[in-house]
Amino acid sequence: MALSLFTKTKKAIIERAQDDFATKMRLKYKPYYHAMEFQQGTHLRLKGRDMIMLSSNDYLGLSFHPKVIEACGEAARKWGTSTTGARISNGSRTYHTELEEKLAAFLGREACHISVAGYISCCSAIATFAQKGDLVLADKNIHSCLWDGIRLSHATVERFSHNNPEDLRQVLKGVSHQIPKLLIVEGVYSMEGHICRLPELAQIAEEAGCFTVLDDAHGFGVLGRQGRGTVDHFKLNDKVDLLCGSMSKSLASTGGFVAGSSDLIEYLRTNSKQTLFSAAISASQVAVASASLDVMQSEPQHLERLWKNTRRYREMLKKLGLDIWGSETPAVPIVLGSKELVYRFWQALLEKGVFTVMSIAPAVPPGKDLIRTAVSALHSDEDLEKIGAAMAYAVKQM
């Protein structure tokens, strides 16, 4: 008894956290969590050095648009900073329903539900609709929030090869028609920059009676008329049951949305744990998304500039012999194939004042270790020239 006063049992969870290899490596090499001291558009300062941002998802560059900034401040003055409650209880405001109606109309859907994060919206788009006994067919490269949604649903999951309709067909062979099925894809794959092969995949899904969910976090604002997204790009709005996405990319805010028929959205409002038990998004973030959506429709120059920059940037990388994994969009990976090469390339770019993000296995498939870069409409010609020179320097360091 006396001894127990002096011996202390170690807590296994604390030991596990302290011994974690990935954390030790992160703290040793410091590749992530860089806190910038200043940002104005694509220009930022890191440890006293001026840099060009080349990995933000501010595709249309609206996070520094005067109308968007004005809307943000005005909303906080009018509504305060937080709703401090869930939509179902004390957190609902007219600005929520107004943005939902506006987004639904833009996307050609009956209804929409917004939340505090794209992660939450996209996760709930699956977790709410799939259940034990269902079969989820998932592209193997979908985002972590979609895998979480699948796990929470307790449905059975079958993966098919990335963006591969033939493999989806194989996976579906022998599956009973009676089992409720969901197909989960992204419109634009955030790491690869690939556009979903939606025409073929949606056709197979329809034949098999699959409920189709498409996460368009990186297609919204980038593809389709005025940035309506991947489904609009292919004119396949009637083939996708539920759209989900993020407001933290082209909409220059934070938050997420799920859009579909009124029946589906009302079902989500009744059953989604992520919706019922999480506080509603703040007025400022809604106002930012709403103002950005207006700008997307009234100022086409941002989308035009984004694609002009994307074409120029992709050509530049190809001329340098870099592998961009067949990217078709402003999200452009530079595949180097090993974490050592990625680290050296990333360091060389930093040295030349270009900020990018490393993505290494298991975040990407083995052998596909890459630098994730993304073009913005805000990149000037001068920015792109500097980026080109930095890339050429990094290639020479390999």
Ligand X SMILES: Cc1ncc(COP(=O)(O)O)c(C=O)c1O
Helix (H) or strand (E) holding 113: strand 111-115
Instruction: Out of 95, 119, 129, 220, point to the residue binding ligand X (CB under 6 A).
Output: 119
- Cα–Cα distance between 211 and 217 in angstroms, integer? 19
Instruction: Compare residues 316 and 357 and give the one whose CB is closer to ligand X.
Output: 357
Helix, strand or coil, per DSSP, at residue 116: coil
Query: Should residue 143 be labelled a site residue for ligand X when binding is judged by CB under 6 A?
Result: yes
CA dihedral 327, 379, 118, 113 (to 10 degrees): -110
- Cα–Cα distance between 227 and 249 in angstroms, integer? 12
- Cα–Cα distance between 360 and 346 in angstroms, integer? 12
Task: Kindly state the smallest distance separating residue 142's Cβ from ligand X, in Å.
Answer: 7
Q: How many C-beta atoms lie closer than 10 Å to residue 123's C-beta?
A: 29
Task: Kindly state the smallest distance separating residue 52's Cβ from ligand X, in Å.
Answer: 21
- Which segment (113-121, 158-166, 272-280, 387-395) binds ligand X by CB under 6 A? 113-121
Instruction: Compare residues 256 and 388 and give the one whose CB is closer to ligand X.
Output: 256
- 279 burial (CB, 10 Å; 0-12 / 13-18 / 19+) is middle
Instruction: Out of 44, 62, 72, 117, point to the residue binding ligand X (CB under 6 A).
Output: 117
Strand extents, DSSP E, 194-291: 210-215, 242-246, 256-260
Instruction: Compare residues 51 and 331 and give the one whose CB is closer to ligand X.
Output: 331
- Which segment (78-86, 117-125, 156-164, 177-185) binds ligand X by CB under 6 A? 117-125
Instruction: Compare residues 116 and 172 and give the one whose CB is closer to ligand X.
Output: 116
Task: Kindly state the smallest distance separating residue 152's Cβ from ligand X, in Å.
Answer: 15
Which tokens is 70 given?
């004005």
Query: Should residue 185 be labelled a site residue for ligand X when binding is judged by CB under 6 A?
Result: no
Kindly identify the residues of this chain, within the stretch 148-167, that bind ligand X according to CB under 6 A.
none
38-40 and 43-46 strand pairing: antiparallel
- Cα–Cα distance between 130 and 183 in angstroms, integer? 10
Instruction: Out of 100, 186, 232, 369, point to the residue binding ligand X (CB under 6 A).
Output: 186
Kindly identify the residues of this chain, within the stretch 205-234, that bind ligand X according to CB under 6 A.
215, 217-218
Query: Should residue 61 be labelled a site residue for ligand X when binding is judged by CB under 6 A?
Result: no
- Give φ, ψ of 183 to 5 degrees: -105, 130
- Cα–Cα distance between 266 and 298 in angstroms, integer? 31
Kindly identify the residues of this chain, within the stretch 248-277, that bind ligand X according to CB under 6 A.
248, 256
The upper half-sphere exposure of residue 266, i.e. CA atoms within 13 Å in the direction of its Cβ, equals 4
Position closest to ligand X via CB: 118
Query: Should residue 59 be labelled a site residue for ligand X when binding is judged by CB under 6 A?
Result: no
Q: Measuring CA to CA, which residue among 24, 23, 59, 53 is closest to residue 36?
A: 53
In sequence order, the β-bridge partners of residue 135 are 156, 181
Task: Kindly state the smallest distance separating residue 129's Cβ from ligand X, in Å.
Answer: 16
Instruction: Compare residues 95 and 119 and give the one whose CB is closer to ligand X.
Output: 119
Task: Kindly state the smallest distance separating residue 281's Cβ from ligand X, in Å.
Answer: 11
Task: Kindly state the smallest distance separating residue 62's Cβ from ligand X, in Å.
Answer: 15
Please spell the DSSP secondary structure of 365-379, one letter per residue: -TT--EEEEE--TT-
Query: Should residue 333 be labelled a site residue for ligand X when binding is judged by CB under 6 A?
Result: no
Instruction: Compare residues 196 and 377 and give the one whose CB is closer to ligand X.
Output: 196
- Which segment (34-42, 112-120, 173-181, 295-303) binds ligand X by CB under 6 A? 112-120
Query: Should residue 54 be labelled a site residue for ligand X when binding is judged by CB under 6 A?
Result: no
Instruction: Compare residues 363 and 389 and give the one whose CB is closer to ligand X.
Output: 363
In sequence order, the β-bridge partners of residue 393 are none
Task: Kindly state the smallest distance separating residue 57's Cβ from ligand X, in Å.
Answer: 7
397 CB contacts (<8 Å, ≥6 apart)? 344, 345, 348
Instruction: Compare residues 373 and 386 and give the one whose CB is closer to ligand X.
Output: 373
Residues that bind ligand X (CB under 6 A): 117-119, 122, 143, 145, 186, 190, 215, 217-218, 246, 248, 256
